[in-house]
Chain A
Amino acid sequence: MLKLSWNATTDHVKALAQCRFLDAPRPGLLPSRRRAVVSCYPASKAPSLAVVSDGLAWVEPGSGSLADRLRLGSLTEDGLSYKERFIVRCYEVGINKTATVETIANLLQEVGCNHAQSVGFSTDGFATTTTMRKMNLIWVTARMHIEIYKYPAWSDVVEIETWCQGEGRIGTRRDWILKDYANGQVIGRATSKWVMMNQETRRLQKVDDDVRDEYLIFCPRESRLAFPEENNGSLKKIAKLEDTAQYSRLGLIPRRADLDMNQHVNNVTYIGWVLESMPQEIIDSYELQTITLDYRRECQRNDVVDSLSSHEPDENLEAILQLNGTNGSAASPTTEDYRQFLHLLRLSGDGLEINRGRTQWRKKPMR
């Protein structure tokens, strides 16, 4: 009765999708792939020599699993970054008829995972290399900074490019650039800092250079920053919000869906919690432009969390306004167009800090 016509679909997809296809292995094939990772030198070679189970091999377009063909992501020409396209689904769209910041954060995580997978790191969600696993090390997020200039709407297509680079002895940085696929316009940028932690001791740990180099071969050598400008918001320190917060939302509890495989609350949930204490007036008239979160402590299923927020004066904006002085034309920004807040998430019981954050909001555009 229902004709199975999906064959036509996939043939069309094969013909039309403009990406190269990688043989991304399934979990379970990892061991041999990991060996291949260590033994091949991909950085300067032709990028289609993607990591496959037998070592170096050409991957023909059209081969590889259906998922790979339909997954619209691949390493870029030089193999040093990864690009993927996503369509925004209806349930990822919020009250503004545009994607929520949680959706954006989820997509950033997704493309990060797919990048790690495509270069041969583990697919258990930890993106660890062989040596890291031997040493019981995992990555944890230290800071996340997302700027969104234009939120995509339902069924818009977003192209996200991501890459990572080392930062210091124990850190690595992952950057993203988000573009509107239709016109190539940059609609957002993000950067995150990760550190290595020992899974058993839950302490940060420094590593030798060869451990770092194991993953750094997949990263651009010269510094490439999503936020190259000086004094950009991603580097600004965030103060700890003291008790006299203007707004608060107490008693937040993790839901089943907030927990990752390790029963820890996943990163994106914290973003939602930070926003929970924002008052309705702000949510109604402003949209989130920037969010910066410093992750301090993990949170688990039975924890209860308080979310605190306070308005934070933005020195930069006020300086600009002072310079503009009495020349305030309709075009120049006023304090009403932008707002900035400081946030704190802490455990309800003992007040231990979970993370701290800063958000910047801009007046919603007329739609």
Chain B
Amino acid sequence: MVATTAASAFFPVPSPDSVAKPTKSGNGPTNLGMLKSKSSSGALQGKANAQAPRKINGTSVGLATLPVVVKDEGSRPSTAPRTFINTLPDWSMLLAAITTVFLAAEKQWMMLDWKPKRPDVLVDPFGLGRIVQDGLVYTQNFSIRSYEIGADRTASIDTLMNHLQETALNHVKSVGLLDDGFGSTPEMYKKNLIWVVTKMEVLVNRYPAWGDVVQVDTWVRGSGKNGMRRDWLVRDCKTGETLTRASSLWVMMNKKTRKLSKMPEEVREEIEPYFLNSAPVVEEDNRRLPKLNDDTADFIRSGLAPRWSDLDVNQHVNNVKYIGWILESAPPEILESHEISALTLEYRRECSKDSVLQSLTAIPGNQDSDLKSCGEVECQHLLRLENGAEIVRGRTDWRPKYSSNCGVAGEVPAESA
């Protein structure tokens, strides 16, 4: 099981700290009822303006004013009440204080129902992403960078998986839940529970190329009594064509005992409002993944070791690195002539910087045939430590590449005439 920072739970932390900055608009002391409603939207607007210029890199940036609806991390309610008693009454300060207090209260009351008031305004020229669909779906655009493409000039499977991970984390962060790095809800935190991913399924229709822009949507839904699924949908921004669909399965684990745990009722109550009631984006693949060994594997690559750059902030190996290692033992012919159309991974164990891994691949259907000329090929994979402990089991389905590419290894890509 891998507990990573890419945990996908996302629940607003009921913290009195997350309040809007007081507005500066002194409208004069009107009755509080009207003040509240007027200032809720106005204040939200005001909050947005107070927050805009948008915070980037932790400091304000002078972009065109974007009304931004994000949790104000770490800002505290002003100490106005004490201040304005000591000074001569400054009505705008009074107003600000009252607004602050009211918003804090309102937020507490409406915690579970809180939705962004203007879901369409979280706009980001820098690919930051926004919540749509009543606060349940997070969407973000990525432009494919030159170092993310493979030899055939299309995005590698690692790149795709990186984007999925980025949106999952951003989703969790945008609802204010990334502080401890595990995306745990308050109840989970109390019980020492964290999310771990157990399974990942990815279906790729088409790989984007350098310079393409893709839109990734992600959301969560319940799975059985104790699990949660995070789904993704990746589309080409220009054409709307679906490029990739993916789904991951998450369960809870006790951080201390490292044992799996049922979902406690209190946690269920916290998270259920955030489940999107959607049909699965990927049909669950319940085929059993066999455990390969030295005899059943066709290819083995040993001596794979994590580098410093493979580690996340917790010094665990980032999940996405596993797919790269899995493919280390895939035969080069298949990598040149075919592309992955489907990928299923079962995570068993995490590994650290000191681990040394072995990657095993078996191709059950093909005994003697020339892989290059095959249509679809299925491979089975195992990633394990040298002592035999399993890290990941996998299956990949491959189809022939159709786009023009380098073809033969070592050949310089011919310039288009």
Contact = CB atoms under 8 A, between A and B. Distances in A.
A261 B153 contact: yes
Given A31-B416, A255-B328, A91 B166 contact: yes
A133 B415 contact: yes
Interface in A19-60: 24, 26-28, 30-31
A95 B353 CA distance: 11
Contacts of A66: 213, 237-238
A276 B237 contact: no
B311 A183 contact: no
A125 B210 CA distance: 11
Contacts of B313: 93-97
Nearest to A283: B308
A328 interface: no
Given A65-B238, A91-B166, A156-B57, A272 B309 contact: yes
Interface string A95-125: 1110010100010011001100000001111
B64 A16 contact: yes
B162 A70 contact: no
B120 interface: yes
B126 A125 contact: no
B240 interface: yes
B141 A70 contact: yes
B413 interface: yes
Interface stretch (B14-22, B127-135, B377-385, B393-401): B127-135
Interface string A249-284: 001010111011111001010001001101000010
Contacts of A183: 57, 59
B153 A87 contact: no
B146 A109 contact: yes
A4 to B, nearest CB: 7
Nearest to B173: A155
Given A95-B313, A181-B57, A263 B133 contact: no
Given A95-B313, A157-B56, A181 B61 contact: yes
Contacts of A102: 309
Contact of B146 (A70, A110, A199, A276): A110
B328 A95 contact: no
Contact of A95 (B63, B279, B315, B409): B315
B263 interface: no
A65 B143 CA distance: 12
A113 B213 contact: no
Interface stretch (A6-14, A164-172, A229-237, A358-366): A6-14
Contacts of B123: 8-9, 12-13, 16
Interface residues of B, number: 75
A306 to B, nearest CB: 13
A153 B63 CA distance: 20
Nearest to B158: A257
B413 A124 contact: yes
B401 to A, nearest CB: 15
A182 B318 CA distance: 29
A253 B303 contact: yes
B271 interface: no
A135 interface: no
B342 interface: no
Contacts of B417: 31
A174 to B, nearest CB: 15
Contact of A182 (B5, B59, B307): B59
A203 interface: no
Contacts of A211: none
A261 B414 CA distance: 11
Given A106-B147, A110-B147, A257-B324, A4 B240 contact: yes
B125 A17 contact: yes
A30 B162 CA distance: 30
Contacts of B283: none
B320 interface: yes
Contact of A263 (B126, B151, B311): B151
A251 B304 CA distance: 10
A364 B4 CA distance: 24
Interface string B152-167: 0100101000100110
B205 interface: no
Contacts of B156: 257
A120 B112 CA distance: 54
A90 interface: yes
A186 to B, nearest CB: 14
Nearest to A92: B162
Nearest to A65: B238
A87 B143 CA distance: 11
B187 interface: no
Nearest to B413: A124
B215 interface: yes
B192 interface: no
Contacts of B345: none
A106 B145 CA distance: 9
Nearest to A15: B64
B406 interface: yes
B57 A180 contact: yes
A2, A93, A102, A109: most-surrounded residue (chain B CB, <10 A)? A2
B310 to A, nearest CB: 9
The 10 A-B residue pairs with the shortest CB-CB distance, nearest first, are A182-B57, A12-B123, A17-B125, A106-B147, A156-B57, A87-B126, A91-B162, A182-B56, A113-B146, A182-B59
29 contacts: A5-B132, A9-B130, A10-B237, A18-B125, A66-B213, A66-B237, A66-B238, A71-B211, A87-B127, A87-B128, A90-B5, A90-B6, A90-B169, A90-B170, A91-B166, A100-B308, A155-B128, A156-B56, A157-B61, A182-B61, A199-B412, A255-B325, A256-B335, A257-B150, A261-B151, A261-B413, A262-B412, A266-B147, A275-B307
Given A16-B66, A156-B56, A256-B327, 15 more contacts: A2-B233, A6-B215, A6-B237, A30-B416, A66-B213, A106-B145, A114-B146, A125-B146, A181-B56, A182-B59, A253-B303, A255-B325, A260-B151, A261-B413, A278-B308
